[in-house]
């Protein structure tokens, strides 16, 4: 159980939340929601004792699993050891034991201490700890051949997965997870969802993935109106309840306003006459009918709209038999994309999905000209102009200038007022537009790149993981903008709602190759389920099956 009592947090004159009293109970899974800047990560850091509250007290269990965001903290640590560090009591005992065994000779006191340490290690299941850590790593997509390597040898996305395994390790009484689906592919997200659903402790999770919150959470703790309000149910339930509650108060206030106006009319008419006693009673009634105060919500939704300067030709991109390989540090040659062809037509909205490391980003970088195919060719269509959102959201945002100055570098004839309008739509109003680029948060950097794309008005948008670091309101606004975009879009995403709502065509990277499916995401999933061996056996038992049995032994999620 986690409890906070009268908790407040302010930065200077700005209040994030105040006088928060709430209990997070075991067996419940809480999604911590609110827009970027509302204080979600700050609230979690306070619970982790990484930051101090302005006032108030809290109580957390002895054993807490925490997802750390610093991927470079463990660079000199073996991957398996980084996971074991998630149980700090076990890790401390293992380290002290190893130091004692390294001594040239043992005193009686050292021997007694070793006995105590072996008891602690046994209590913490230390003798099967590496097996359990390896099982977690495999489940979350870390190959076994990387378990004994140093963390610094892993790419950023795999480092993040190790840190997630670290948080899950050791049966913690509570889990505090900040954006756990970042850098995870669809298969790993599905694995994480199923594991969290079985978790019996207290879970508090921040996520921008609406599908994830709806799937995992039993409650939503929403930071708004300078407090934390807990709603039963998942994210969609919370939104409905929040809207209904506000509408109810607003309706009640309107009714009160009507009654007050009627009573004031009576007071004005008879205040000085013989009905003084009736006037006094109505004045008391006016005081009693005072409207319920509605604090201003801190939810801000950016306005994203991608216009185009001119339409492209009917054939936007033609990819002919391209190949791309990379040489690993060990000298091995890895074929990332092999003999791949693609025709992109005007108006296509292509969702690119698949496990990490199969070549999605490589393909997009070749489409925008950042990489050159080893063989084959990519032909740009007539009048096709491309806007690119890179996976590394800081890529291309030069330091040493303000956000406004950076955006101004992409303006041609746009005035200061036009640039300010674009920035205001993306929540860079007033002084926010003058923030130094190197000090921008992940969400601010993503919104600034979106602002540039809106300004450039290209007719082809190529977006690589655009929802990373965006809050739920911004993800929803992006989905709506892609739906309304009259040009062509190709976007990589592990956000299932974005893919399901915005893609009309699916390019799926699988271990067996690349699927090109002309249809929306749900239809693609259904087509894959119809091709699994289990589905085909079921059809045979029900009286018939046309075609041959697929030999691939996997679930539908294995290819995603």
pLDDT digits (tens, 9 = 90+) for 89-138: 999 999 999 899 888 888 888 889 999 999 999 988 899 999 999 999 99
pLDDT in tens, 146-199: 999 999 988 877 888 899 999 999 889 999 999 888 778 788 888 889 989 989
- Identify the CA nearest to 29 among candidates 214, 171, 216, 164: 216
* pLDDT-derived band at 367, boundaries 50, 70, 90: very high
The CATH number of the structural domain formed by 315-517 is: 3.40.50.300
| pLDDT at position 102 | 87
Q: What sign for the dihedral angle of Cα 141, 144, 149, 153? A: negative
Mean pLDDT, range 232-253, rounded to an integer = 79
- Cβ proximity of 191 and 494 under 8 Å: no
- Give the 3-state secondary structure of residue 113: helix
- Rounded Cα distance between 143 and 158, Å, is 10
CB 207 within 8 A of CB 180: yes
Contact 326, 334 (CB under 8 A): yes
User: Which residue would you say has higher pLDDT here, 299 or 34?
Assistant: 34
- Across 165-169, 184-188, 451-455, 466-470, which has the greatest mean pLDDT? 451-455
In angstroms, the CA 314 to CA 384 distance is 10
Where does the pLDDT of residue 37 fall: very low under 50, low under 70, confident under 90, or very high at 90 and above?
Answer: confident
The burial class, CB within 10 Å (0-12 / 13-18 / 19+), for 437 is buried
Confidence at residue 137, expressed as pLDDT on a 0 to 100 scale: 92
> What is residue 172's three-state secondary structure?
coil
> Whole-model pTM above 0.85?
no
* pLDDT at site 464: 93
**How far apart are alpha carbons 262 and 325 in whole angstroms?**
79
How many residues appear in the chain?
560
pLDDT class of 559 with cuts at 50, 70, 90? very low
- Topology given in CATH for the domain delimited by 2-237: Rossmann fold (3.40.50)
pLDDT at residue 539 above 50?
no
Q: Say if residue 85's pLDDT is above 60.
A: yes
d(CA 545, CA 527): 15
Q: What is the pLDDT of residue 262?
A: 77
CA atoms within 13 A on the CB side of 302: 32
The string of DSSP letters for 297-356 reads: P-----------SS---SEEEEEEEEEEEEE-TTS-EEEEEEEEEEEEETT-EEEEEE-T
Place of tokens 């913490």: 124
Locate 113 and state its tokens: 């201490």
Give residue 473's pLDDT band: very low, low, confident or very high (50, 70, 90): confident
């Amino acid at each position: 159980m986690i409890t906070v009592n009268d908790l407040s947090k302010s930065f200077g004159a700005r209040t994030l939340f105040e006088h928060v009293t709430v209990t997070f109970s075991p067996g419940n899974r809480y999604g911590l929601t609110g827009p970027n800047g509302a204080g979600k990560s700050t609230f979690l850091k306070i619970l982790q004792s990484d930051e101090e509250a302005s006032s108030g007290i809290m109580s957390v269990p002895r054993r807490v699993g925490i997802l750390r965001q610093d991927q470079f903290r463990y660079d000199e640590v073996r991957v398996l050891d980084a996971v074991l560090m998630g149980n700090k009591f076990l890790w401390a005992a293992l380290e002290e034991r190893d130091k004692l065994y390294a001594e040239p000779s043992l005193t009686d006191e050292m021997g007694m201490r070793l006995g105590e340490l072996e008891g602690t290690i046994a209590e913490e299941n230390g003798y099967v700890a590496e097996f359990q850590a390896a099982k977690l790593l495999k489940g979350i997509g870390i190959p076994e051949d990387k378990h004994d390597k140093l963390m610094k040898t892993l790419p950023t996305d795999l480092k993040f997965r190790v840190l997630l395994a670290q948080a899950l390790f050791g049966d913690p009484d509570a889990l505090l997870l900040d954006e756990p689906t970042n850098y995870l592919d669809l298969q790993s997200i599905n694995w994480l969802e199923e594991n969290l659903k079985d978790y019996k402790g207290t879970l508090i999770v921040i996520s921008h993935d609406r599908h994830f919150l709806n799937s995992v959470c039993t409650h939503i703790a929403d930071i708004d109106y300078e407090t934390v309000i807990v709603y039963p149910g998942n994210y969609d339930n919370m939104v409905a309840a929040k809207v209904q509650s506000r509408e109810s108060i607003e309706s009640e206030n309107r009714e009160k306003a009507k009654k007050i106006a009627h009573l004031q009319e009576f007071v004005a008419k008879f205040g000085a006459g013989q009905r003084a006693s009736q006037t006094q009673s109505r004045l008391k009634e006016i005081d009693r009918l005072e409207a319920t105060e509605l604090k201003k919500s801190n939810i801000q939704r950016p306005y994203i709209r991608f216009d185009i300067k001119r339409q492209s030709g009917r054939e936007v991109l033609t990819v002919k038999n391209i190949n791309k390989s990379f040489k690993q540090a060990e000298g091995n040659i890895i074929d990332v994309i092999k003999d791949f062809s693609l025709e992109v037509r005007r108006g296509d909205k292509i969702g690119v999905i698949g496990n990490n490391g199969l070549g999605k980003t490589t393909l997009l970088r070749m489409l925008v000209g950042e990489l050159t195919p080893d063989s084959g060719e990519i032909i740009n269509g007539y009048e096709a102009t491309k806007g690119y959102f890179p996976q590394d959201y800081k890529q291309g945002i030069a330091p040493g200038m303000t956000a406004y100055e950076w955006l101004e570098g992409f303006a041609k004839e746009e005035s200061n007022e036009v640039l300010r309008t674009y920035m205001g739509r993306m929540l860079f109003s007033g002084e926010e537009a003058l923030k130094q680029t190197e000090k921008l948060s992940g969400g601010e950097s993503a919104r600034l790149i979106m602002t540039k794309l809106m300004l450039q008005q290209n007719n082809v948008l190529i977006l690589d993981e655009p929802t990373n670091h965006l809050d739920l309101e911004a993800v929803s606004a992006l989905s709506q903008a892609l739906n309304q975009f009259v040009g062509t879009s190709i976007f990589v995403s592990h956000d299932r709602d974005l893919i399901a709502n915005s893609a009309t065509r699916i390019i799926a990277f699988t271990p067996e190759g690349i699927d090109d499916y002309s249809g929306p995401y749900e239809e693609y999933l259904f087509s894959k389920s119809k091709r699994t061996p289990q589905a085909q056996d079921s059809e045979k038992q029900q009286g018939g099956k046309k075609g041959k049995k697929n030999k691939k032994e996997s679930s539908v999620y294995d290819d995603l």
